[in-house]
A and B are shown apart, each in its own frame.
Chain A
């Protein structure tokens, strides 16, 4: 296990270096942030002046050298737009994104598990077909559209819930549904397939022969095995939620790191973009490592 973790950490470092380099060089192909900070009638002199003030002069390689030297000392730079250390900005927004994830995950699992099980048990029946339709709709429905429709229905028309921003429990409901809907679809289909596999195994037949109730067979024996592949998907979705809730955060004016990433791209805030990508990569690597370790505990057949 220790060797496995060390291997993964080393792989992670190589991956981080690659990702950072790609983001650094590709980002600079898209333009100069001063062009977005200055008014459209700024003179070339004003432009050059600001480039020097923001330490954006020098060749790309020179800038990369400075970045790497600083990064190895833990300094990922200062945001061009906000003029604050990028790590400070990232960590100030991270809790806002993390706050949205558990409710979305809980909603997703609370809906996906029963629906997935029932679809498997009633395979081919009307419930299975309805669940399949829900799955397709969940995956196909754009987050953006869903969020706006929910706002108009529950906030504007009914006046039950706030339209956006962080706040009390009521503020979490619509973003949770928006984020969770996509997750429900993915989890439900996987649980259904895993359940169908599990229901067909020899040990389940033995359990039935032994006289165990259907409830125990399904919820204790089958589900436990069916949830193992779900763990992998959970890791993938977690990474996606942490790094990519851009649309949901934008629609609901939620000041998280998804929106921060979007702002960094739009404003060519290179230090902020690099920092966000590096931190996101670290988070995803950590989550995936955790999932792999949990996998080994959950499934005794897996050994490192």
Chain B
């Protein structure tokens, strides 16, 4: 296929991509990590639907697209570079030539085609399987190290969905091995191309791996073995780090003081999530008299929040002022400097101005409001943030009726017409992703589930402007125009005050420096599945 215009995407090459790594004799010891969840604890990528895959599947499996290890966001994976066709309807991925499966077979374009088709298959419960099926028209093997994906529509951000920076749909599986041994055997004895080989999985207890003994593009492991333990109770995880039973454990902000007092190392992974609050259906006819319908009221509520106080006292200082909804420092097509300045100004604490806005809107003495407080899995501190926000709103004169929901019960309310949430506000969260459009589409597009700006029955000028600009962000091939459209999209949503960030949170880990050396996480990536191979032993130089 002729390509009159080639778009070369080079991600900054992190230092370790060219590493030649230690040989087997240099690999010693066992790195032990304690997590609060191992998800479905399945070694078949198509059977895992949620984030824990990035902890325990990532050591074994490489993804087609990888990370920018230093700055976060996308980078080369098994595909060292990729190009978009002139008509923007296909993507060509050029694979590394030296990647092999754990049984020694080379990883080729046939494996990539097989993996993507398997991920899209009827058997797959990967969370984005449906979206991938909708996007992909066909997959073509050009040669052993070149594969082309033809899409049904123009989607400029298509490759992002094949990176673990976004989700797991780009994980690569061995075609020949699976066809030879069958799926059931593959699930019991999986092989991948990652820096760690699967050894054993004990359901509800742990997964164990052994390091490959040859150089790997992600980094060659310094430890001989890796064991990931399931330890649901946080105080037990912290105790295990303190005693040296584990080297690293995931923790919440509540344990930070103890970790520091015990002279352990605290690793805070920046930009992993935003705690936000959002409004539902304030545009509907039934909400004509609802104060929350007025944009001044919504802005006033934001100005009444002392975010720094929440950062200091709920998050123990381990959070920062956010940028707009789902916007992080590693986001693509985003004017980071502009939005950082916006965050400091627009999201400031200004109770005086908040009261003025309420008075202008006709509510000088406040009003009644229902606030649904909930916390998504992995971020239990959201409910504490919700309580703090509710309290701050009360000081503004708003009579807040706080209702607590367990996440599973809250999800029910988001379905259909959202009758129990219409006209109300709730806590919510966005996870750190380099490409914001997916989050924006699911939250603000008039055809989405959340549809915060308007829906198919009611879509005013703001809603229509958003829908139009979203299409441009998704399909505009010109970098400069897409950049402009993306920032315009952020502005439309920011000006609506329909989904407001409270803080930009981090992922936290307690580390025993006697068990593992110094290492740096991938910004925006709470999970360490792509970092284990870069962790040095205590006696080695920091990575």
Which residue numbers of A lie inside 8 Å of B, CB to CB?
30-32, 35-47, 49-50, 53-54, 81-84, 89, 92-93, 148, 151-152, 155-156, 159, 162-166, 250-253, 255, 259-260, 263, 266, 268
Q: Are B408 and A82 closer than 8 Å at their CB atoms?
A: no
Q: Are B125 and A50 closer than 8 Å at their CB atoms?
A: yes
Check A255/B411 contact, CB under 8 A, given A82-B40, A163-B239: no
Q: Are A253 and B41 closer than 8 Å at their CB atoms?
A: no
The size of the chain B interface, using a CB distance under 8 A, is 55
- CB neighbours (8 Å) of B376 from chain A are 40
Instruction: Pick the residue among B125, B229, B411 that contacts A35 (CB under 8 A).
Output: B411
Instruction: Pick the residue among B51, B202, B412 that contacts A31 (CB under 8 A).
Output: B412
Q: Are A164 and B130 closer than 8 Å at their CB atoms?
A: no
- CB neighbours (8 Å) of B40 from chain A are 81-83
Q: Are B204 and A30 closer than 8 Å at their CB atoms?
A: no
Q: Are A31 and B408 closer than 8 Å at their CB atoms?
A: yes
A159 to B243 CA separation, bound complex (whole angstroms)? 7
- CB neighbours (8 Å) of B408 from chain A are 30-31, 35-36, 266, 268
Q: Are A259 and B127 closer than 8 Å at their CB atoms?
A: no
4 nearest A-B residue pairs (beta carbon)? A35-B411, A255-B204, A41-B442, A37-B49
B390-428 CB mask vs A (1 if < 8 Å, else 0) is 000000000000000001110110010000000000001
- CB neighbours (8 Å) of A36 from chain B are 50, 377, 407-408, 411
A164 to B439 CA separation, bound complex (whole angstroms)? 39
B89 contacts partner chain A, Cβ-Cβ < 8 Å: no
Check A30/B203 contact, CB under 8 A, given A40-B376, A164-B231: no
Q: Are A39 and B411 closer than 8 Å at their CB atoms?
A: no
Q: Are A54 and B125 closer than 8 Å at their CB atoms?
A: yes
A selection of 27 A-B contacts at a CB cut-off of 8 Å is A30-B408, A30-B409, A31-B409, A31-B412, A36-B408, A36-B411, A37-B125, A39-B50, A39-B167, A41-B438, A41-B439, A41-B442, A44-B449, A46-B128, A46-B129, A46-B130, A82-B40, A82-B203, A83-B44, A152-B235, A152-B239, A155-B243, A164-B239, A251-B235, A255-B204, A266-B408, A268-B408
Q: Are B229 and A165 closer than 8 Å at their CB atoms?
A: yes
- CB neighbours (8 Å) of B239 from chain A are 151-152, 155-156, 163-164
- CB neighbours (8 Å) of B245 from chain A are 162-163
Please, which residue of chain B has its CB at the minimum distance from the CB of A35? B411
B295 contacts partner chain A, Cβ-Cβ < 8 Å: no
Contact residues, B99-145 vs A (CB, 8 A)? 122-125, 127-131, 134
A45 to B448 CA separation, bound complex (whole angstroms)? 10
Q: Are A39 and B127 closer than 8 Å at their CB atoms?
A: yes
B232 contacts partner chain A, Cβ-Cβ < 8 Å: yes
B60 contacts partner chain A, Cβ-Cβ < 8 Å: no
- CB neighbours (8 Å) of B123 from chain A are 53
A263 to B52 CA separation, bound complex (whole angstroms)? 15
Instruction: Pick the residue among B41, B47, B122, B232 that contacts A259 (CB under 8 A).
Output: B232
- CB neighbours (8 Å) of A92 from chain B are 203
Instruction: Pick the residue among B44, B203, B243 that contacts A89 (CB under 8 A).
Output: B203
- CB neighbours (8 Å) of A259 from chain B are 204, 232
Q: Are A43 and B442 closer than 8 Å at their CB atoms?
A: yes
- CB neighbours (8 Å) of B377 from chain A are 36
Q: Are A255 and B203 closer than 8 Å at their CB atoms?
A: yes
Q: Are A151 and B236 closer than 8 Å at their CB atoms?
A: yes
